[in-house]
């Protein structure tokens, strides 16, 4: 698509300079008290501007110390306008519908009534030094110009003047406010699209380097199969606990729901010359998500924008647009100082031990081994060391295994002592084995290791001792 910019003649440049001089020189405020808003009766609408928007070549909006220039974005042939763009921001994806609303009054403007039929007393209407001057230049050489003054006391209208038409008129407040917009108001405030119900990659990193990485290893077909089987896409943690299954409910309810709630309150600056001014050279936080279709959500969180109690905000930006936004800090609480332990599946034995073919329990010391056949006896009665035992005790034993879970992260590997207890559960004729080892660690905890992984977590001693006690009771009951 070719961006064709209407030629701005030398006369237009002079016009811009004169307009700016008129707008800014000797600026002394509105002065006086603005007259009251008119009553509910209104005259027939007065046509102030009636031009063809398709013939508009450029629109200038002078306000404060800035000027915004909106130009038509033409098709490949340069014959038809397909959208709008802002001069100086050609590479930025901005909301053209906002631009369209801004240029609309320069092409078509009507008013409820005339307030004054002359140019006397402009100060009391805020028109001696107007807040905004909007200028439309058309391909035929004509132009329109609107001077935007103060609002009426009831804030439902602006006082305006239009070049070529004497007098002061009323302009609808909504329509007038559009003339005050800047490029910041054109920035898209919607979050990047991503299917939060099918996220396959999660990466969160703090400013101090602490990170958490979750991923699903599989193609699109496998994600469909997993969702059909489990109702979600199961993730695995790769940092800081490589290979540990994620607690997908916690990921969805805490992280992904929080990401959906992040709202861009306002655009602070579009395409800033220095992103470090907002803290993006060393961001406080980076949140990067990918869904099964490859859609990406990457949010950078910078410095605090406001520290007002109850209204704390931070600077943030997404990688699909060069815009600095302000975001409510509260919506990001789940990501600050994220604790990876909260997002692992803490269960040590994830399959029901009642479905196992064999369970071996080995305690440190001679003669302290136990062999359990969950369905080994006559009629499927469980056996311990070849003998039947009390059914209620077996039920308590299986429940204890099923509920066994990590209680906390292991903080000091050097404190891990000798092996105390090993549990192996065999499924599918021994083709699948779940193994867990428990080491002496402290007065209250055993260090726990599952599968081929080193001890990363600890388990409360009461949980393990309860299993051991139940085993001893089972053995004793089977010999009676």
User: Do 348 and 436 contact (CB within 8 A), yes or no?
Assistant: yes
- The predicted structure's pLDDT at residue 64: 80
Written in H, E and C, the secondary structure of the chain is CCCCCCCCCHHHHHHHHHHHHHHHCCCCCCCCCCCCCCCCCCCCCEEEEECCHHHEEEEEEEECCEEEEEEEEECCCCCCEEEEEECCCCCCCECHHHHHHHHHHHHEEEECCEEECCCCCHHHHCCCCCCEEEEEEECCCCEEEEEEEEECCCCCEEEEEECCEEEEEEEEHHHHHHCCCCHHHHECCCCCCCCHHHEEEEEEEECCCCEEEEECCCCHHHHHHHHHHHCCCCCEEEECCCCEEECHHHHHHHHHHHHHHCCEEEEEEECCCCHHHHCCCCCCEEEEEEECCCCEEEEEEEEEEECCCCCCEEEEEECCCCEEEEEEHHHHCCCCCCCHHHHECCECCCCCHHHCCEEEEEECCCCCEEEEECCCCHHHCCEECCEECCHHHHHHHHHHHHHCECCEECCCHHHCCCEEEEEEEEEHHHCEEEEEEEEECCCCEEEEEECCCCCCEEEEHHHHHHHHHHHHHHHHHHCC
Residues with Cβ < 8 Å from 221, sequence gap 6 or more?
Answer: none
Residues with Cβ < 8 Å from 79, sequence gap 6 or more?
Answer: none
- The predicted structure's pLDDT at residue 5: 37
Q: How far is CA 12 from CA 129, 131, 138, 215, 233, in A?
A: 21, 21, 11, 57, 60
Question: Is 353-478 a domain of CATH 2.60.40?
Answer: no
- The predicted structure's pLDDT at residue 13: 34
The structural domains of the chain, with segments of one domain joined by +, span: 10-186, 196-343, 353-478
Q: What distance in Å separates the CA atoms of residue 77 and residue 58, rounded to the nearest whole number?
A: 19
Q: What distance in Å separates the CA atoms of residue 169 and residue 358, rounded to the nearest whole number?
A: 90
- The predicted structure's pLDDT at residue 65: 78
pTM comes to 0.77
Per-position pLDDT tens, the chain of length 480: 433 333 333 333 333 433 333 333 333 333 344 444 444 444 578 999 999 999 999 999 999 878 999 999 988 877 888 899 999 998 888 999 999 999 999 999 999 899 998 878 899 999 999 999 999 999 999 999 999 999 999 999 999 999 999 999 999 999 999 999 999 999 998 888 999 989 999 999 999 999 999 999 888 888 888 877 777 889 999 999 998 999 999 999 999 999 999 989 999 999 999 999 999 999 999 999 999 999 999 999 999 999 888 889 999 999 888 999 999 999 999 999 899 999 999 999 988 888 889 999 998 876 678 999 988 767 778 888 888 888 888 888 999 999 999 999 998 888 889 999 999 999 887 778 889 999 999 999 999 998 888 889 999 999 999 998 888 888 887 755
- The predicted structure's pLDDT at residue 475: 83
């Amino acid at each position: 698509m070719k961006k064709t910019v209407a030629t701005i003649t030398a006369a237009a440049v002079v016009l811009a300079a004169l307009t700016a001089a008129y707008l800014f020189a000797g600026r002394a405020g509105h002065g006086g008290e603005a007259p009251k808003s008119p009553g509910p009766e209104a005259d027939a609408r007065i046509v102030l501007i009636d031009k063809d928007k398709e013939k508009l070549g450029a629109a200038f909006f002078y306000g404060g110390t800035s000027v915004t220039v909106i130009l038509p974005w033409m098709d490949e042939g340069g014959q038809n306008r397909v959208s709008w763009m802002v001069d100086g921001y050609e590479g930025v994806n901005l909301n053209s519908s906002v631009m369209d609303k801004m240029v609309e009054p320069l092409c078509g403007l009507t008013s409820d009534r005339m307030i004054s039929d002359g140019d006397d007393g402009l100060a009391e209407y805020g028109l001696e030094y107007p807040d905004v001057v909007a200028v439309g230049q058309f391909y035929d050489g004509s132009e329109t110009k609107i001077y935007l003054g103060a609002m009426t006391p009831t804030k439902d209208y602006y006082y305006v003047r239009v070049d070529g038409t004497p007098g002061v008129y009323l302009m609808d407040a909504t329509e007038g406010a559009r003339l005050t917009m800047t490029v910041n108001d054109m920035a898209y405030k919607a979050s990047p699209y991503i299917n939060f119900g099918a996220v396959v990659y999660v990466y969160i990193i703090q400013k101090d380097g602490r990170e958490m990485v979750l991923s699903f290893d599989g193609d699109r077909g496998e994600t469909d199969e997993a969702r059909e089987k489990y109702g979600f896409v199961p993730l695995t943690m790769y940092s800081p606990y490589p290979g540990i299954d994620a607690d997908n409910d916690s990921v969805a309810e805490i992280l992904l729901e929080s990401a959906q709630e992040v709202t861009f309150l306002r655009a602070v600056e579009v395409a800033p010359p220095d992103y470090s001014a907002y803290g993006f050279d060393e961001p406080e936080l980076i949140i990067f998500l990918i869904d099964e279709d490859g859609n990406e959500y990457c949010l950078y969180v910078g410095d605090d924008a406001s520290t007002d109690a109850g209204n704390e905000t931070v600077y943030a930006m997404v990688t699909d647009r060069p815009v600095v936004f302000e975001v409510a800090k509260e919506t990001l609480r789940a990501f600050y100082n994220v604790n990876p332990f909260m997002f692992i599946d803490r269960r040590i034995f994830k399959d029901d031990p009642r479905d196992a073919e064999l369970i071996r329990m080995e305690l440190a010391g001679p003669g302290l081994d136990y062999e359990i056949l969950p369905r080994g006896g006559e009629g499927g009665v469980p056996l311990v060391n070849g003998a039947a035992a009390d059914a209620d005790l077996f039920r308590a034993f299986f429940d204890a295994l099923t509920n066994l879970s990590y209680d906390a992260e292991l903080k000091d590997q050097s404190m891990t002592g000798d092996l105390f207890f090993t549990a192996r559960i065999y499924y599918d004729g021994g083709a699948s084995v779940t193994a867990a080892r428990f080491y002496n660690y402290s007065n209250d905890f055993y260090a726990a290791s599952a599968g081929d992984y080193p001890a990363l977590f600890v388990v409360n001693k009461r949980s393990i001792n309860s299993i051991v006690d139940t085993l001893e009771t089972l053995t004793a009951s089977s010999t009676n």
